[in-house]
Amino acid sequence: MRAILSVVGKDRVGILAEVSGICRQYQANIVDVSQTVLQGFFTMIMLVEMDTGNFLQFVDYIQNFGNENDLKIHAMHEDIFKSMHTV
């Protein structure tokens, strides 16, 4: 399956590395990344490919990581975006 990861939070060293590390831990292959810093806010959107079986645990883990590190992280199946924004 393909999932979209969005990460928003106050910019600091290592956010991209930490999130990528979690992806690696769950065997999530990063297919595409778009990242920028806007007015001091780190904003990243990542497209990852992974086993469906791992995904729910991955969601739990990465959201927990976000909560503990003051980052707003969403991990959602790609299809919700595709269905909403393509005809």
Measure the CA–CA gap between 79 and 23, rounded to whole angstroms: 19
- In terms of phi and psi (left: phi > 0; alpha: psi -120 to 50; beta: otherwise), the region of 70 is left
- 10, 21, 27, 32: which one binds other proteins (CB under 8 A): 32
- In terms of phi and psi (left: phi > 0; alpha: psi -120 to 50; beta: otherwise), the region of 65 is alpha
- 25, 27, 34, 67: which one binds other proteins (CB under 8 A): 34
Residue 28 in the binding site for other proteins (CB under 8 A) = no
Give the nearer residue to other proteins in terms of CB position, either 11 or 60: 60
Please tell me whether residue 20 adopts helix, strand or coil conformation: helix
Residue 59 in the binding site for other proteins (CB under 8 A) = yes
> Contact residues for other proteins (CB under 8 A)?
4, 6, 31-32, 34, 45, 47, 55-56, 59, 74-85, 87
